[in-house]
Structure 1
Amino acid sequence: MAHYIDTFPGREITIKGKDYLYFGGTSYLGLQTDGEFQATLIGNIKKYGTNYGASRNSNVRFSIYKETEQHLADLVGSDTCVTLSSGYLAGQFVAQYFDTAKYKLFYAPNTHSALHLATNIKQAVTFASLNIAVREHLHGKSKSIPVVLLDSIDFSGAHYPDFEGLKQLPLDKVILIADDSHAIGVIGSSGGGVFGILKSLNPKELIVSTSLGKGFGIQAGAIFGTQDRIGQLLRTPFFGGASPAAPAYLATLLESKELYSGKRKQLVKNIACFLDNVKQRKRFNFMEGHPAFSYSDVRLTNYLFEHGIIITDFSYPNEHAGLKSRIVLSAHHTKKDILDLAELINTYKSY
């Protein structure tokens, strides 16, 4: 069921005049409605303007881009980084760059549409079939380099934190491209996401694309990789022709380090509170340290709604895809919010 609203949903959401607790969306740190975060952004809008529609290759350039990109690269642990106006654009940029005869693209199960191209490259159903396909390609006559694309967080728990499926692959011969949109800013050391974990698997090359909107609360995307690869991307017409992220957003990211840290600590407490109090953990698919809890019981969704709680529940990425039902905890939820949610789930068995 679609609900239409007029203000950004925080820990509460109002539908047809009735207030509900909201455990959905992707505002993992609860920043979009945070007063301190908003004040920082408003101050930066006054300094940098509401938008910047020129090319990054223009003769007049904002220094905030390089400053923020260096900060993000240090945070993640990559050689360097480039920012763009959205995570989806970042994913498409990387995928299109590698869509040439020099490379052969392979898609892992449940890869986000941000990394998919219009060409009908089939997504693997299992990692076993992906492993077979990659090895057959390597043993064939083609000299093209295999490129495996995947989501670091797929909400089934198949990837993060162990990436057992990836470990089956001959990664030393594979360029690995991961979408880290649901991890960066939220998990890892200081919110660095999974770059370090994937790097430790020793792929031939690692590239990570991501949205900065979910964990960092700003409208922007980023790509992480080696100096050489990012340099190649910067020299493309794709990058030169696209408008960048608004500089006010990047300045806000750079100035909110302490706020991000505090919010992540609160999120960790909220996750622990939920897990300590919900009795039927096996009902959910979830990953250690991540605030999303997926399930497939439509009746639970209806039960929660009837008792004043709305969660994420829709077909994604289009109406022909499977229904995505997910409880999402955020740093803005109070302990009472979480205890009320857990109590409802615990009493659901008698519904």
Structure 2
Amino acid sequence: MSTPESTAGRPADDRVVCLADFAGAARAVLPADVWDFVSGGSGAETTLAANRAALDRVAVLPRVLRGAGVPRLDTMLAGRPAALPAAVAPMAYQRLVHPDGERALATAARGAGVPYVASTLGSCPVEEVAATGADVWFQLYWLRDRALVVDLLARAEEAGCSALMVTVDVPVLGRRLRDLRNAFRLPAGVVAANLPGGRDDLAHQGTPGVSAVAADSGAAFAPALTWSDLAWLRSETRLPLLVKGVLDPRDAALAVSVGADAVVVSNHGGRQFDGAPATVTMLPEVLAAVDGRAEVLLDSGVRSGTDVLRALALGATGVLVGRPMLWALAVDGRAGAERALSMLAEELRDALALAGCADPTEARDLRVLTGGDR
């Protein structure tokens, strides 16, 4: 398997006019197994499909004659200003899709004024990502080696990360059939740069019928976390704490009770438990359980500014945008990512204006129809 060559200087494709269009353009330039790794889900990919279908069923009732004018897009996320109610989701091994990897995507996020979430399994060290000047949140996978968790936390704080996002829905990696069929493994030039040398050796070993990345994660990730572990983490850092991977409202309430500043409603983009509900389906119940005590963000399936408006209208503080940013990175590196974030802002501005809203806060007063209501 090889990684894509640099796309620096490649002319922009005029047919790419929305975030979703980057998918086809990325598929044309990525090796087939890398495309599957980035874009696939677990199992029969039922939950992957459900995320998109559920968002499409959400209708927002626009208001008229409200004098909204050109909407503002800025808001607050994790206690800090953001130019959009969106952050770039944590995604592993971004140098799989472009040689500049996380540095390019973080730089694009800086230019757009949105937070960038750096993954534990990033292929560039968190220090280099933070050096781009982006507002970086660090995403933590809980490792079996508690000392390494403590070290990662200290490094994130020392690097200047402004928030900590702990992912709680990966006791084991979901069974991703595309990766099993491809016997997917990382190429030699792509490593888990935040981990000590050799800690990702299994991820590079190809075995027929085996996902090397899943084997490596199984050896590295702690499979039996509890709420006491989350409480310990809360006591170890003063950074705002976001808990990602929550679907059940009871878990959302528990997360807040141990000190979470935000809950991210996520099913890992359909890559973990196949058969879980779409995140937008659970968003209203999670919001009710949190009851204003913490921010609530929506992850999984977001593909447009209209999707951002849908999440806001349901009551979310903002969203995480994942795959479209990787697709854009694959197509044209930093320039592609900048273009994607600019499109997202333009789409959200149009959606707010057409819905009669002057800013993201007003979107929360809109009426929403779902499923049988339409």
TM-score bracket relative to the smaller structure:
0.3 to 0.5
Report the structure, 1 or 2, having the larger strand content: 1
* Higher Cα Rg, which structure: 1
Asked which structure has the greater RCO (Cα within 8 Å, sep 6+), the reply is 2
